[in-house]
Structure 1
Amino acid sequence: MSDVMWERGVEWLSAAATDPRVCKREWDQGDGIALLQAGRYWDVLSVPDRLGLLTLDLLWQPALPVPGPTLVDTAAHRVGFFLPPDPGSRWIGAGLRHARRGSWVAVPPPYRPARFLEWLVPPDGTGALHAPGTLELALRQANGTLAVLTPLGAD
């Protein structure tokens, strides 16, 4: 990513903060993580890491647009997909967590990892997000693949 894209990504992501200047200071001088409120510019669908990583792999297809911002939490073993805010949506499934208005999400800056958080696809500042329909189809396909690969009763 170019410096201009990093800068745009920082501006776009920090706009979700209560005070974008404080957010940027936390990224640069604090522990490198800022808490941002979901539901205004984006929601986050968090899934178990095996499902999320396979889903992201399925989304990297030439026929599809570049996937939207995607974050991995290596401590919690979760992958978060940034989607358009939709207060009426209901994501249902084992292990799915939907962060929307009223939820807070810990994020590192787009230009580097912080502790256990890292961008797999950093925000580029354009506001591009995962398309919910495309993400749902990829999640279903990945879940079906994992069901076949995982022996019954194993994690």
Structure 2
Amino acid sequence: MEITGLDWLAQAAPDPAAFREQWERTGLGLVLLPAGRHWDVLSVPARLGRPAADLLGAGACGPVLADFGDEHVGFLVPVGTAARWIGTGVRCVGEGTWVVVPHPDRRGGGVRWLVPPDGTGRLSDPVLLELALHEAAAALGDR
């Protein structure tokens, strides 16, 4: 049986079955999932995050969220990354916090996936993400 992005996200919920039922009942809305169970989130300003996601490319970039106002981009990274990350302007979301997550098939405004989860469990590598963020920042400085 193939694991979908929804299946993968459901694994992070305290009760995966109830989580899936809620999403099926409410359609393509938003839900809260706990960070720090299967992934952490590093949220960066979109002016850096979007180019960094492009630099990482499809092979190295895990799921990426965009917030309501397109001001921030959130990279799903391995558990524990938020506790160790040091960086100006980066919001680290790990254990003990919750994240608003859209349905993986949702399109449109509001919180949405720039790179939706595909069910493989791939997350953004923090080392590669840091390099991509530095490169994106350098490119902004060259303008």
TM-score by length of 1: 0.81
Residues of 2 paired with 1:138 and 1:22: CA distance?
Answer: 37
Residues of 2 paired with 1:15 and 1:88: CA distance?
Answer: 20
Q: Match for residue 147 of structure 1?
A: 141
> Equivalences for 1:9-28 in 2 at 5 Å?
9-28=5-24
Residues of 2 paired with 1:83 and 1:70: CA distance?
Answer: 10
Report deviation, 1:88.
Answer: 7.5
Gap runs ≥5 in structure 2: none
SS of aligned partner of 2:84: coil
Alignment of 1:74 with 2:60, yes or no, is no
Q: Which amino acid aligns with 2:8?
A: W
- Equivalent position to 2:51, from 51, 54, 66: 54
SS of aligned partner of 1:57: helix
> Equivalences for 1:35-114 in 2 at 5 Å?
35-60=32-57, 65-75=59-69, 77-86=71-80, 89-113=83-107
Moved more, 98-107 or 15-24: 15-24
Q: Which amino acid aligns with 1:48?
A: P
Residues of 2 paired with 1:88 and 1:18: CA distance?
Answer: 20
Gap runs ≥5 in structure 1: 150-155
Change (3 A) 1:135 1:96: same
TM-score by length of 2: 0.87
Higher Cα Rg, which structure: 1
Report deviation, 1:122.
Answer: 0.9
- Equivalent position to 1:29, from 25, 32, 39: 25
Report deviation, 1:35.
Answer: 0.6
Task: Report percent identity of matched pairs.
Answer: 46
